[in-house]
Structure 1
Amino acid sequence: MRHLTAHSDVHDARHGVPIDRKALVEAFPSSFLGMMIQEPALLGARRGDRSDTFFQHLATIGALQALIEHCLPGRRCEQALSTIVNHDDRAAMVCALSALCVAADDFVAVGDEDGWIILPPRQFIQPAQWSLLEVNAGEEIAGALYTT
């Protein structure tokens, strides 16, 4: 991270839960994507393919495109997101989506002073997943669940 901030033009952080003085965010593709699925266990994902399975499902049903259109009204991807098949390319796309949500100032985050994981905007998190977030946050220090 130090190398990136030293050798690039990264703007200062303006969002409510920065992990650095620069606008860098922590992304976890499986968590980000899983929040958008009502019953992720029904997809039969395993540890080694979870993020790929979630990505393909959400791309196929149009949820990822809907997120992009939410954050960038009037914009669409030139290429169907379901055509992204490489694991690393999919992970990079989810990282970009996480950053896009922060840039649009519409995201949920979980964490504390040691760091924050960026999740989709509240309206994209499925009710069952939101309930789990609230339960887990209730077991942590106040403020562990952040919404914009």
Structure 2
Amino acid sequence: MGSQALLGVDVGFSARRKTTGLAWFSGSGVGVTVTGSSWSERKGDLPAGVEFRLAALDAPIVPTPDASNRRGCEYIFYGGAFARRCRPGLSHHGRGLRLRQAGAQAAREFANILSVSPLPYGPHVLAGLPIIEAFPNTFMGVLLPESSFLSWSKTIGVPKSDWLYEQIVGLGIMRKLLGRLTLNDRSVADAFEQATNHDERAALICLLTAMFAAKGDVVIVGDDLGGWFWLPPTELWASWAQDEFELAVSIHQKTNFPATAAWMETARQIGQ
């Protein structure tokens, strides 16, 4: 990963509780914490004087504030098997709209501690800012074998994102991801594998997203109108997710999101 500093942010917007997860990687290793929703709290809980090369935010990163825009990157993972396993919410209404607004504010604020440089790889949504969008549930979900989901039920009383996190740690997938990034230091592995806090876990998956993005070892799904999801390398996807993605692209290409025609190449690459 070199010496570049990278940042993952699970954007929370509670005015009363600390719900923003922060995870960062720099020369001193991995740090993680949970903080509030104000910029003073967030900046104060990050290492002082660090300029980050890239930030991945778990919130909609869109090129326009138009709240009515439906997003192709959300809909492609919203139906079929994704709906039962790792679908995103929709951000053009309800709580999702609040998260979209919180994401826009967070992007403006975190820009203050980012290097003024282009993304090392992939499309920009916010001109001149190395900010990308992470979606932890989909990032984790596409990595799990189909059989793993047989053990999931709402009755187990664990949030879906925490269950997904525990699965990728327990199955050794987290260690495989870190190995692909050549992050073999024991303290780095411990930071990812021993995390138990819900918001810290989400921030760590955002940090993983930033790490893969910095390396250019990613799948980027979206369009210029609605923005892009940054997801793990294609060959790490489970076979069910590969098949479901190609089916979803073929459906939405013909109906809601014609721009998804360009995603068919991604689908073919995943299927190889």
TM-score above 0.5: yes
Higher strand share: 2
Contact 1:65-1:77 at 8 Å conserved across structures: no
Equivalent residue for 1:132?
244
How far 1:74 moved relative to its partner? 5.5
Equivalent residue for 2:145?
38
Given the alignment, which residue of 178, 189, 194 partners 1:83? Answer: 194
1:124–1:115 distance in 2 versus 1, CA, 3 Å:
same
Partner amino acid, structure 2, of 1:135? L
Partner amino acid, structure 2, of 1:15? Y
- Post-superposition Cα deviations, 1:65-102, rounded to whole Å, max 9, x if no partner, equal 2111102x262341163321100010000000111110
Partner amino acid, structure 2, of 1:87? H
Number of residue pairs matched?
A: 146
Matches within 5 A, 1:1-148: 1-5=107-111, 7-10=112-115, 11-21=117-127, 22-39=129-146, 40-46=148-154, 49-71=159-181, 73=182, 75-78=184-187, 79=190, 81-113=192-224, 114-139=226-251, 140=253, 141-144=260-263, 146=266
Gapped regions of structure 2 (runs ≥ 5): 1-106, 254-259
Distance 2:248 2:192 in 1: 31
Distance 1:81 1:62 in 2: 12
Contact 2:174-2:193 at 8 Å conserved across structures: no
How far 1:134 moved relative to its partner? 1.0
Distance 1:97 1:48 in 2: 22
Partner amino acid, structure 2, of 1:68? L
With normalisation by structure 1, the TM-score equals 0.86
1:18–1:115 distance in 2 versus 1, CA, 3 Å:
same
Report the secondary structure of 2:168's partner residue: helix
- Percent identity of equivalent pairs: 25
How far 1:48 moved relative to its partner? 6.7
With normalisation by structure 2, the TM-score equals 0.49
How far 1:45 moved relative to its partner? 4.5
Contact 2:192-2:204 at 8 Å conserved across structures: no
Query: RMSD between aligned alpha carbons?
Result: 2.3
Contact 1:43-1:53 at 8 Å conserved across structures: no
1:48–1:15 distance in 2 versus 1, CA, 3 Å:
farther
Distance 2:165 2:172 in 1: 11
- Post-superposition Cα deviations, 1:7-51, rounded to whole Å, max 9, x if no partner, equal 113332132233223221111111000000112531315497111
Greater C-alpha Rg = 2
Distance 2:131 2:186 in 1: 23
Contact 1:69-1:76 at 8 Å conserved across structures: no
